[in-house]
Amino acid sequence: MMRGELLYEGKAKKVYLSDEPDLYLIEYKDDATAFDGVKKDHLEGKGILNNTLAAVFFDLLEKKGVATHYVRMVSEREMLVKALTIIPVELIVRNIAAGSISKRLGIPEGTVLKRTVLEFCLKNDALHDPLINHYHIYAMGLASEEEMALLESAALEVNAVLTPFLKERGITLVDFKLEFGRHRGRILLGDEISADTCRFWDSFSGEKLDKDRFRRDLGGVVEAYREVLRRVK
């Protein structure tokens, strides 16, 4: 597999052209950031763990009928994916109140929500990914009503697959962020599903096994990611 031109570098990944048509190569970095990049660090091995976690979850979802951009792992920190035109709407799926929803709505962290909540953010770092609703999405031409229905259905299906899978392994899926994109007329799940983009809590102790360990200076970030991978692999 030949790595081509660097197309994009984000906080946690680099995206390259590959030598296969219509496919990109994603490299997972060891960089950790929080609070719109204000807090930064280098965590040795984080990229390898997230690449492997994402591959495990994408493979599971594909087997359950959720269409994703994932093709295969290329190396311990690289995967090959279908080239997507990303829809600039991030979907946040919440099962338990934590993080920003607790601050915004005054719901105590750890409260099990009476039903799953979907939130939408504009994917725009310069604007700090603000919350938006369907009216904004349609007014700005970010996605059609039909596409949004597909995105919401897919997000809930991802939740329905991952929640019991993780529960069997002693992990509570608190919330997670998803991104989707267009590929040859289809909408596919893109980006990643990892301990960077999900909140994972130990089902018995409540210990955080995700990026909140970095955000909240709890330490043991890489060790927590490694523990998640140990349970799901």
DSSP 107: P
Reported as a single tens digit per residue, the pLDDT across 107-152 is 999 999 999 999 999 999 999 999 999 999 999 999 999 999 999 9
Fold for domain 85-232? D-amino Acid Aminotransferase; Chain A, domain 1 (3.30.470)
Give the per-residue pLDDT at 8: 93
CATH number of 3-82: 3.30.200.20
Would you state the structure tokens that stand for residue 4, as one six-digit string? 């081509």
Strand order in the sheet with 70-75: 3-9, 13-18, 23-28, 78-82, 70-75
What local confidence, expressed as pLDDT, does residue 222 receive?
98
Task: Say what the pLDDT of residue 2 is.
Answer: 82
When pLDDT is cut at 50, 70 and 90, the band that residue 1 belongs to is confident
Q: Strands, DSSP E only, in the chain?
A: 3-9, 13-18, 23-28, 31-34, 39-42, 70-75, 78-82, 85-86, 89-96, 112-122, 131-132, 171-178, 180-183, 186-189, 198-202
Asked if pLDDT for residue 35 goes beyond 90, the answer is no
Mean pLDDT throughout 150-170? 98
Q: How confident is the model at residue 165 (pLDDT cuts 50, 70, 90)?
A: very high
C-alpha 111/C-alpha 171 separation (Å) is 16
- The residue ranges of every structural domain in the chain are 3-82, 85-232
Tokens standing for residue 215: 């955000």
The pLDDT score that the predictor gives to residue 37 is: 75
- The rounded distance, in Å, linking the Cα atoms of 22 and 110 is 42
Q: Binning pLDDT at 50, 70 and 90, where does residue 36 land?
A: confident
Cα-Cα-Cα-Cα dihedral of 174, 166, 23, 155, to 10°? -50
> pLDDT class for 209, splitting at 50, 70, 90?
very high
Q: What is the rounded average pLDDT of the residues 101-110?
A: 98
Q: Report pLDDT for 105.
A: 98
For residue 162, the surrounding DSSP H or E stretch is helix 145-167
Taking residues 202-226, report their average pLDDT: 98
pTM equals: 0.96
pLDDT the model gives residue 38: 84
